[in-house]
Amino acid sequence: MNRILEVRGLSRIYGPGCPHCVDATGPEADTNRCPHCGSIVAIHDVSFDLFEGEILGVMGESGSGKSTVVKTLYFDQAPTGGEAVFFDGDTQHELFALNAARQRWLRNHRFGMVYQNPNLGLNFNISAGGNIAERLLMSDLMDYGAIRERAKTLLARTEVLLSRVDDLPKHFSGGMQQRVQIAKALATQPPLLFLDEVTTGLDLSVQARILDLILEIQQELKTAMVVVTHDLGVIRLLTGRAIVMKYGRVIETGLTDQILEDPRHAYTQRLVASAL
Amino acid sequence: MNAMPHTTRGSAYNFGFLDEYAKKEIRRAVLKAIAIPGYQVPYASREMPMGRGFGTGGLQLTLALIGPGEVVKVIDQGADDSVNAVNLRQFIEMTCPGIATTTKTAESTLIQSRHRIPEQPLTATQILVLQVPYPDPLVVVEPSEDKRKVMHGEADYSRLLVKLYEDIVQFDEITISHRYPTRINGHYVIDPSPIPRWDVPRLNDAAALTLFGAGREKKIYAVPPHTRAEPLAFSDVPFRVEDFRDAAGRRRACARCGCTDSFLDEFVGDAGSKTYQCSDSDWCDEQLLQAEHAQGEPA
Amino acid sequence: MSYVAIKGGGRAIAGAAAVTEYLRTEQGLDNPAAEPLAIDAILHQLRHLVDRVVSEGGVYHPQFAALAVKQSLGDTLEAAFALRAWRSTRPRLSATPPLDTSRMRLIRRISSAFKDIPGGQMLGPTPDYALRLLRLELMDESPEAFRAVARDWLENCPEADLPDSFPKVLDALRAEGLLPPLGAVRDEAPFDITREPLVFPVPRSAALSTLARAETGALLAIAYSNMRGYGDVHPTVAELRVGYLPVLLPHPVTGELTEAGEVLMTECEVVAMFEADDAGGKPMFTVGYGACFGHNEVKAIAMAILDRALQKGMQDGPENPSEDPEFVLLHVDGVDSMGFASHYKMPHYVTFQSDLDRLRTTRQKSGEPA
């Protein structure tokens, strides 16, 4: 299996930072706030690999830094340290060394993101079809008919009623908004997709259908995914491997089955026990 | 009431009204604008003695470029004799002694215009200055100038294109009538000023230099000679200029000169009847002259 | 067949000028007592009008400001505009160093932060506590009575009440370390908005100069939005002073600073809620600064509040329009905004023809089966 993403030593500190930030935070210190300078160490020294067609889970409670991991990789926020290499066929991209235009190109062409809050991923003032068109137009598809066909195909695939292709997503239900977001993320057939708490806050039945959809897409398109969630059910259903985070650090990593059946770290044990 | 002669008499002012430092700054901005086709160069726009929005940006360009021996033409809505054109021309005559003015496109060396490009193709020895109210085509999708600057830099015009997409979805047509966003030299998209779509193709590969001056918004940009100017469109929904066909599908003609390939103004008569005439008054006059010439008899 | 577009544009313009001039002089019709408004009368009796025009015109020339008021028939937007256009033709020959406003010869000076301040409160000329009752006796004021008022006042005025300079209220707070020191601000070369375009983000000096020549009403409206709740500056007026500031210019030969004259100006310093500094220093008050030519207290206060609001917006990102530098600085200039509002009166035949074409085509299409 080929690697698609290699992340090494990824860090993000909010605030001025000081020489004590790293030592004074983390699972042992039981905080992510540096007592010396007040900075928040959102993530520190996060490393992992992702392979083609694989789904990797990033789990943890709120404040663990799990969302920060995907937000830095998707260029929503710049990291304060660390590296990430994206392997795209024969090309390698050193993500954080690229200029802004190059980063935007990768975002638009090769990455996809589905946010917990559809407001972040969708423009609510343009139609569902327009949202998908925007992403296609970013990748220089300039044929109206082709854009429209592709938008309809994607919405059909994500089970959005075609009669609603020209409606504004702000009038859609939460589950349908997530489907439009997924369709938009998939528009350019990216080899790498980030999913940040995509089912949080949805009804259980809606959750189940969205998760099924993600699995089907992964099997059809062989898209590699990083799934961020606090929900062990989502981890169990979607992911083959997972990392567990607490106060910005990776405390456990391994095959999902192994982590859920036989957690080694005390924190993971509590997490798994509480979900049962 | 001429208590203060230097506020009313042109001779008390520097040639071209502006002081020479101001002119130099504008010329530097012009050079930069030509070097980076379509890029909006910020400049410290001066207050002129006419309202912001009445062509102060165009006027500053004209006054910074003008020299003795220049032949200037000023147009508003295609006509040399409309109120604002007269006003600007008088001001230029007053503050630039030694220059000549004309209404004839062919004779002019410097043309300042609002809302129209002359019908007659311009030559390499002419400069066209267009007055601009809104320099940035992205303002319809992004109000913050700071963010628009990044979008221009990265040639990120997808949100503008989505607007065209949404237009076609809703109306089966691109509804932008004038100020049609136009990509220059394959990168920057400009607002070509409120010229009708009819005039946009004239910017493409033009022999003359076209300069755009936005006085209130303090920007100068350019389409240099022989530069690509492509209106944004889809490959299967092409850009279209105004259509002057009647119900039977025939191209309307100018009621005065008979021209069938110029931009027309529509006039509504008392009885609701409509007539059409060339918007470009000099072009209309020239067509009449030629027709008379061909017939060999003065009318 | 004649051309239908507007003909005789030149004649129309001359006609409009003539009828405006008629309105200006109409009082003289069959009225031998009518006299043209003297520049001197405007300077003195309509002084706040002149104050607005020097401030919004961005050049301290009270005589020309009074002339501008006269020729624009009292329209402050037009008058400031004429003054600004005149200014465009003047080269910039020299620049003053930062002037020390503690040297102002004050006519008025108050602090709402302290009951007593070094040098004392000095109410000076203000309508603040006057009853806004129409003074009907002024309807028909006799020239003799008019001349007597000022003479009597001066005669009865003790010498000690005449203008003097006082220390600044903020200096005391600064000495206590409750305000940030001035040094850092002073070292920065000021941004000249008449020579450089605003490209955001802009330094505070660019914001201050833009606010200083802003239209009073526009500034007040945006500052008022902040006071009412679209913002949270909650200012205290530490000091408001009105007076004549000596202007120092380097001597053209020796380079030595020489007093070249004085300008009447209004200065307001507001103190707003304190904040802890990022470097872990002690919390301090923050200051908003307002200053403008002429006597215009509302403008100086509004400016001080907006200065504070914009500093917050520049630091933490704007949460309200009044904290957004682009929103505030690009919309407060009277010359820009009045010009643009006026330009809609100009012909737009060509663009409207273009609009008609789009609407007709669209309607035609929607009438047909797709």
Assign B241 to helix, strand or coil.
Answer: coil
Q: What is the pLDDT of residues A47-100, one digit of tens each?
A: 999 999 999 999 998 889 999 999 999 999 999 999 999 999 899 999 999 998
CA A259 to chain B, closest CA, distance in angstroms equals: 43
Q: What are phi and psi of A106, to 5 degrees?
A: -65, -45
* Distance in angstroms (rounded) separating the CA atoms of residues C67 and C136: 28
* Distance in angstroms (rounded) separating the CA atoms of residues A203 and A182: 17
* Distance in angstroms (rounded) separating the CA atoms of residues C47 and C56: 14
Q: Which two tokens stand for residue B65?
A: 């470029």
Across the A:B interface, residue pairs with CB atoms under 8 Å apart total 52
Q: The domain containing residue A27 runs over which residues? A: 3-104+234-275
- With contacts defined as CB-CB under 8 Å, which chain C residues touch B49? 82, 85
Residues of chain B with CATH 3.40.50.11310: 5-231
Q: Which of C353, C359, C361 to mutate to test the interface with B (most CBs of B within 10 A)?
A: C353
Residue found by looking up tokens 């490009």 in the block: B117
* Distance in angstroms (rounded) separating the CA atoms of residues A208 and A225: 18
Say if residues C163 and C244 touch (Cβ distance below 8 Å).
yes
Q: Under an 8 A CB cutoff, do B81 and C342 touch?
A: no
Question: What pLDDT was estimated at residue C249?
Answer: 93
Q: How far is CA B72 from CA B56, B57, B105, B110, in A?
A: 16, 16, 9, 5
CA C359 to chain B, closest CA, distance in angstroms equals: 8
CATH code at position A44: 3.40.50.300
Is B259 labeled as catalytic in the residue annotation?
no
* Distance in angstroms (rounded) separating the CA atoms of residues B245 and B271: 21
Considering only alpha carbons, which residue of chain C is nearest residue A37? Answer: C280
Cβ of B166 under 8 Å from any chain C Cβ?
Answer: no
Percent of chain A at pLDDT > 90 equals 71
Q: Under an 8 A CB cutoff, do A143 and B154 touch?
A: no
* Distance in angstroms (rounded) separating the CA atoms of residues C221 and B166: 36
Q: Is residue A211 part of a domain?
A: no
Q: Under an 8 A CB cutoff, do C350 and B7 touch?
A: no
Q: What is the pLDDT of residues B207-233, one digit of tens each?
A: 999 999 999 999 999 999 999 999 999
Nearest Cα neighbor of A111 from A236, A179, A174, A195 is: A195
Q: Which residues partner with B277 through β-bridges?
A: B265
Say if residues A70 and A58 touch (Cβ distance below 8 Å).
yes
* Distance in angstroms (rounded) separating the CA atoms of residues B110 and B91: 15
Considering only alpha carbons, which residue of chain A is nearest residue C277? Answer: A16
In this structure, the number of other CB atoms found within 10 A of the CB of residue A248 comes to: 28
Mean pLDDT within A150-167: 91
Q: Which two tokens stand for residue A208?
A: 């189940």
- Give the right CATH number for B5-231 from 3.40.640.10, 3.40.50.300, 3.40.50.11310, 3.40.50.150: 3.40.50.11310
Question: What pLDDT was estimated at residue B6?
Answer: 34
Question: What pLDDT was estimated at residue C7?
Answer: 52
Nearest Cα neighbor of A145 from B235, B158, B231 is: B235
Q: Which two tokens stand for residue C85?
A: 């256009």
Calculate ∠ Cα B113-B52-B139, nearest 5°: 85
Interface confidence (ipTM) of the complex? 0.82
Cβ of C278 under 8 Å from any chain A Cβ?
Answer: yes
Catalytic residue, chosen from B96, B215, B257, B259, is: B257
Listed as ranges, residues in chain C with pLDDT below 70 are 1-8, 161-163, 183-187, 276-281, 368-370
Assign C99 to helix, strand or coil.
Answer: coil
The count of structural domains within chain A is: 1
Question: What pLDDT was estimated at residue B295?
Answer: 80
Furthest-apart CA atoms within chain C: distance in Å: 91
Asked if omega into C201 is within 30° of 0 (cis), the reply is yes
Is B278 labeled as catalytic in the residue annotation?
yes
* Distance in angstroms (rounded) separating the CA atoms of residues A204 and C145: 88
Question: What pLDDT was estimated at residue C3?
Answer: 42
Question: In this complex, which chains have at least 3 CB pairs below 8 Å with chain B?
Answer: A, C
Considering only alpha carbons, which residue of chain C is nearest residue A39? Answer: C278
Q: How far is CA C108 from CA C62, C123, C243, C266, in A?
A: 20, 6, 7, 9
In this structure, the number of other CB atoms found within 10 A of the CB of residue C16 comes to: 11
**Contacts of residue C278, Cβ cutoff 8 Å, sequence gap at least 6:** A16
- With contacts defined as CB-CB under 8 Å, which chain C residues touch B43? 197
Catalytic residue, chosen from B58, B96, B215, B254, is: B254
- The rounded Cα A197 to chain-centroid distance in angstroms is 8
Question: What pLDDT was estimated at residue B8?
Answer: 36
Q: Is residue A47 part of a domain?
A: yes
Cβ of B253 under 8 Å from any chain C Cβ?
Answer: no
CA B264 to chain C, closest CA, distance in angstroms equals: 8
Alpha helices (H) in B124-280, listed in sequence order: 145-153, 158-171
Q: Under an 8 A CB cutoff, do B19 and C358 touch?
A: no
Of residues B114, B146, B256, nearest to C1 (C-beta): B256
Of residues B150, B156, B165, nearest to A130 (C-beta): B165
In this structure, the number of other CB atoms found within 10 A of the CB of residue C153 comes to: 9
In this structure, the number of other CB atoms found within 10 A of the CB of residue B69 comes to: 9
Instruction: Answer left, alpha or beta for residue B279, where phi above 0 means left and psi between -120 and 50 means alpha.
Output: alpha
Instruction: Answer left, alpha or beta for residue B253, where phi above 0 means left and psi between -120 and 50 means alpha.
Output: beta
Is B96 labeled as catalytic in the residue annotation?
no
Say if residues B106 and B112 touch (Cβ distance below 8 Å).
no
DSSP run (H or E) holding B8: helix B5-8
Residue found by looking up tokens 């990168």 in the block: B187
Q: Is residue A260 part of a domain?
A: yes
Q: Under an 8 A CB cutoff, do A145 and B236 touch?
A: yes
Sign of CA dihedral C362, C363, C365, C369: positive
Strand order of the β-sheet with A91-94 is A40-51, A3-14, A81-88, A91-94
CA C277 to chain A, closest CA, distance in angstroms equals: 11
Assign B9 to helix, strand or coil.
Answer: coil
Q: Which two tokens stand for residue B294?
A: 């061909």
Residue bearing the bigger pLDDT, B228 or A142: B228
Listed as ranges, residues in chain B with pLDDT below 50 are 1-10, 299
Considering only alpha carbons, which residue of chain A is nearest residue C278? Answer: A16
Q: Between the CA atoms of B79, B80, B85 and B90, what dihedral angle is there, to the nearest 10 degrees? A: -170
- With contacts defined as CB-CB under 8 Å, which chain A residues touch B150? 100
Q: Under an 8 A CB cutoff, do C9 and B85 touch?
A: yes
Q: What is the pLDDT of residues C15-74, one digit of tens each?
A: 889 999 999 999 999 999 999 999 999 999 999 999 999 999 999 999 999 999 999 999
Question: What pLDDT was estimated at residue B81?
Answer: 87
Sorting pLDDT into bands at 50, 70 and 90, what band is A184? very high
Say if residues A66 and A59 touch (Cβ distance below 8 Å).
yes
Considering only alpha carbons, which residue of chain B is nearest residue C11? Answer: B83
Question: What pLDDT was estimated at residue C279?
Answer: 57
Say if residues B105 and B120 touch (Cβ distance below 8 Å).
yes
**Contacts of residue A132, Cβ cutoff 8 Å, sequence gap at least 6:** A147, A150, A151, A154, A155, A180, A183, A184, A187
